[in-house]
Chains A and B, each alone.
Chain A
Amino acid sequence: MLVGCGIVDDIKIKDFSNDELLDTYIKIGSFIDFLNKEIEKVDSDE
Chain B
Amino acid sequence: MSNSLDSKIKDVKDVLDSMPRNNLKNKNKYRDYVLNILEKYNKFYHDLYLEIIRRRDDILGKVKDYDGTLDKKMINDYYKKLLMVNDRNTPYEKSGLDKILYEILHFYKDDFEGVNKDIRSAIEIFGLVGIKLQERDFCYSPYVNEYMTMFMKSDGEDDSLRECFDKLYWKCPDIIVHIGLNFKYLYYKNEKLFSKYFCNYKNDFLKSESLNYNEVFSKYKVLVNDNNVNYLKSEDNLIKSFVSKKYNILDYSKDKILKYHMQLGSNSGDIDNIKKFLDLLVEYKNYFEYKYIIDDIKKLYKDKDKFKSSFRNKLKEIAKIEAKIIKLNKKIGFRAKFNIYSNKIDKLMIEINSNIKEVSKLYNELEIDKFKEYVSKLEDNVSLYDILLIASSYYIYLRSCIDNNFDGLSDIEINDKIVNMQEFLFSSDINVINNISIVEDRDVSLIISDRYKLLRYNITKDEIENNVLGLIELTKKIILGSILDNCNIDYEDILFLCNVRDIIK
Binding site for B on A (CB under 8 A): 1, 3-8, 11, 13-14, 16, 18, 20-29, 31-32, 34-36, 38-39, 42-43, 45-46
Contacts and interface: CB of A to CB of B under 8 A. Distances in A.
B192 interface: no
Contact of B9 (A6, A27, A39): A27
B237 to A, nearest CB: 22
A7 B503 contact: no
Q: Is the interface of B mostly helix, strand, loop or mixed?
A: helix
Contacts of A23: 2
Contacts of B55: 18, 21
A39 B34 contact: yes
Interface string B1-38: 11011101100110010000100100100110011011
B5 A8 contact: yes
Contacts of B6: 27
B404 interface: no
Contact of B51 (A7, A11, A14, A27): A14
A28 B27 contact: no
B13 to A, nearest CB: 8
Q: Is the interface of A mostly helix, strand, loop or mixed?
A: helix
Nearest to A28: B45
Contact of A5 (B30, B44, B495, B499): B44
Contact of B21 (A3, A8, A28, A42): A42
Given A7-B5, A46-B27, A22 B500 contact: yes
B48 interface: yes
A28 B496 CA distance: 18
Interface residue range, chain B: 35 or more
Residue of A22, A32, A39, A43 with most partner-chain B CB within 10 A: A22
B40 interface: yes
Given A5-B40, A14-B51, A28-B48, A42 B5 contact: no
A38 B33 CA distance: 11
B47 interface: yes
Contacts of A34: 13
B5 A25 contact: no
Contacts of B42: 32
A18 B1 CA distance: 13
A21 B221 CA distance: 46
A2 B403 CA distance: 69
Contacts of B35: 39
B35 to A, nearest CB: 7
A14 B44 CA distance: 13
Interface string B79-108: 000000000000000000000000000000
